[in-house]
Amino acid sequence: MISSRKRNFLIAILVIAICPLIFLLVFQRIKQPEVNSNNVLPIYGFHTPVTVKLENGETVIDTAYHTIPKFSLINQNGDTVTDNRMKGVVSVVDFFFTTCPSICIDMTKNMRKVQDFFKNDNSKFQILSFSVDPETDTPDVLLKYAYQNDVNSTSWSLLTGDKPAIYDLARKGFLVTATEGDGGPNDFIHDNKFVLIDREGRIRGYYDGTSSEQTDKLILDIQKLLVSYIMPMKKSHSSAK
Span between the terminal Cα atoms of the chain, in Å: 71
Does residue 225 lie within any of the structural domains? yes
Question: What is the spatial distance between Cα 4 and Cα 8, in angstroms, rounded to a whole number?
Answer: 6
Question: What is the spatial distance between Cα 212 and Cα 111, in angstroms, rounded to a whole number?
Answer: 10
Angle, CA 222 vertex, CA 216 and CA 225 arms, to 5°: 145
Count: domains in the chain: 1
Does residue 84 lie within any of the structural domains? yes
Does residue 123 lie within any of the structural domains? yes
Residue closest to 109 by CA, chosen among 149, 51, 61:
149
Query: Where does the pLDDT of residue 6 fall: very low under 50, low under 70, confident under 90, or very high at 90 and above?
Result: low
Tell me the CATH number at 201.
Answer: 3.40.30.10
Q: Quote the domain boundaries for residue 216.
A: 68-230
Does residue 138 lie within any of the structural domains? yes
Taking a C-beta distance cutoff of 8 angstroms, is the pair 199, 69 a contact? no
Which pLDDT tens digit goes with each residue over 137-169? Answer: 999 999 999 999 999 999 999 999 999 999 999
Which is more confident, 181 or 39? 181
Does residue 49 lie within any of the structural domains? no
Taking a C-beta distance cutoff of 8 angstroms, is the pair 221, 215 a contact? no
Does residue 180 lie within any of the structural domains? yes
pTM for this entry: 0.79
Does residue 239 lie within any of the structural domains? no
